[in-house]
A and B are shown apart, each in its own frame.
Chain A
Amino acid sequence: MMIKEIITVILIVVGCFFFLAGTLGVLRFPDLFSRLHALTKADNLGLGFIAAGMAVYIASPWAALKILSIWVFTLLASSTSCYLIARFQKEQEQPENRKEQE
Chain B
Amino acid sequence: MSILIDILLAIIMVYLAIQCLLTPRLIQSVFLFFAFGLGLALAWVRLGAIDVAITEAAIAAGFLGVLFLDALKSFAPKVSVKQDNLEDIYKLPRRNIKSLILPRVILVLGLALFLFIALEAVWMIPDGGGLTASAEALLPQSGVEHPVTAVLLNFRAYDTWLEIGVILLGLLGVFVAGGIKLYKKPGASKPDPMLRQVILFVTPVLFLFGAFLLYIGKTGPGGAFQAAVLWGAIGILLHLGGKPIFAMIPRWLFHLILTMGLGFFLVLGFLLIADGRTLFEYPPAYAGLLILIIETLGAISIAAALTAIYANLNQMEEETNEVEPTT
A–B touching in complex (CB under 8 Å):
yes
Q: Which of B33-41, B99-107, B175-183, B191-199 contacts A (4 or more CB under 8 A)?
A: B191-199
Q: Which residues of A contact B326 (CB under 8 A)?
A: 91
Judge whether A101 and B327 touch: CB under 8 Å: yes
Judge whether A87 and B192 touch: CB under 8 Å: yes
Judge whether A80 and B327 touch: CB under 8 Å: no
Given known contacts A84-B192, A87-B192, A76 and B198 CB-to-CB distance under 8 angstroms: yes
Is A28 close to B, CB under 8 A? Answer: no
Is A98 close to B, CB under 8 A? Answer: yes
Classify chain B's interface size. Answer: under 10
Majority SS at the chain B contact face: helix
Is B111 close to A, CB under 8 A? Answer: no
Q: Which residue of A lies closest to B194 (CB)?
A: A83
Nearest CB on B from A58, distance (A) = 16
Nearest CB on B from A32, distance (A) = 14
Classify chain A's interface size. Answer: 10 to 19
B198 in complex: contacting residue of A80, A91, A101, A102, CB < 8 Å: A80
CA A14 to CA B238, docked complex, whole Å: 38
Could you mark each residue 198-239 of chain B with 1 if its beta carbon is under 8 Å from any beta carbon of chain A, else 0? 100110010000000000000000000000000000000000
CA A91 to CA B324, docked complex, whole Å: 12
Q: Which residues of B contact A73 (CB under 8 A)?
A: 205
Nearest CB on A from B234, distance (A) = 14
Q: Which residues of A contact B202 (CB under 8 A)?
A: 76
Q: Which residues of B contact A87 (CB under 8 A)?
A: 192
CA A76 to CA B197, docked complex, whole Å: 11
Nearest CB on B from A88, distance (A) = 9
Within 8 A of A (CB), among B292-327: 326-327
Nearest CB on B from A19, distance (A) = 15
CA A87 to CA B326, docked complex, whole Å: 12
Judge whether B195 and A98 touch: CB under 8 Å: no
CA A65 to CA B84, docked complex, whole Å: 49
Could you mark each residue 69-102 of chain A with 1 if its beta carbon is under 8 Å from any beta carbon of chain B, else 0? 0000100100010011001000100000010011
Nearest CB on A from B32, distance (A) = 15
B195 in complex: contacting residue of A84, A91, A101, CB < 8 Å: A84
Nearest CB on A from B327, distance (A) = 6
Q: Which residue of B lies closest to A98 (CB)?
A: B327
Q: Which residues of B contact A84 (CB under 8 A)?
A: 192, 194-195
CA A76 to CA B327, docked complex, whole Å: 24
CA A102 to CA B201, docked complex, whole Å: 30
Q: Which residues of A contact B201 (CB under 8 A)?
A: 76
Nearest CB on A from B240, distance (A) = 10
Q: Which residues of B contact A83 (CB under 8 A)?
A: 194
Q: Which residues of B contact A101 (CB under 8 A)?
A: 327
Q: Which residues of A contact B198 (CB under 8 A)?
A: 76, 80
Nearest CB on B from A48, distance (A) = 19
Q: Which residues of B contact A98 (CB under 8 A)?
A: 327
Q: Which residues of A contact B327 (CB under 8 A)?
A: 98, 101-102
CA A73 to CA B205, docked complex, whole Å: 10
Nearest CB on B from A26, distance (A) = 12
Q: List 14 contacting pairs A-B, 8 Å CB cutoff, sorted by A.
A: A73-B205, A76-B198, A76-B201, A76-B202, A80-B194, A80-B195, A80-B198, A83-B194, A84-B192, A84-B194, A87-B192, A91-B326, A98-B327, A101-B327
* Seed contacts A80-B195, A80-B198, A83-B194; 4 additional CB < 8 Å A-B pairs: A76-B201, A76-B202, A84-B192, A102-B327
The 8 closest A-B pairs by CB, nearest first: A80-B198, A83-B194, A102-B327, A84-B195, A101-B327, A84-B192, A76-B198, A87-B192
